[in-house]
Amino acid sequence: MATHKSELTHIDSAGRPAMVDVSAKPVASRVAVASTQVRFPVAVAAALRGQGMRSAKGPVIDTAIIAGTMAVKRTHELIPFCHPLPIDGCRFAVDWRDVRTLAISCTVRTTHRTGVEMEALTGASVAALAVYDMCKALSHAIVIGPTRLTGKRGGKRDVGEVE
């Protein structure tokens, strides 16, 4: 999935940071999928499963999905050169990958002139951070990552797999 461009898009001709002008781009259906993992100590993962994925702060997965969705909608407020976008859809998949690793996937859809890769990455990341926050009383040895774009469709080029 590694592709490299020879120039940065958020730098103007004077070498200053600049938001990309997307006004000439066509409106298109776009989707992006990002994933991350939350790795727990084995005993903490077992305790969470035994508690129905609830911590002292409440339902871990439900809270993570809500936090991730809120982050998707506010990505342009967090990442300086992201355009505010209408979000047509945002879905999370959260499943145990193995006995200690929780996999989080965020799929974001829009119909616009620019893609939603940053929204998907932000959603997955913040959902993982919410899991950490919900569970840190059990252990501070929880590890997040790797976080990556797993696919996108729409725009100039498609990358990876999109559901």
Query: Which residues does the annotation mark as catalytic?
Result: 133
3-state class (DSSP) for residue 158: coil
Gap between the Cα atoms of 36 and 134, Å rounded: 17
Q: Are 110 and 87 in contact (CB under 8 A)?
A: yes
Handedness of CA 117, 93, 90, 55 (dihedral sign): negative
Gap between the Cα atoms of 123 and 75, Å rounded: 8
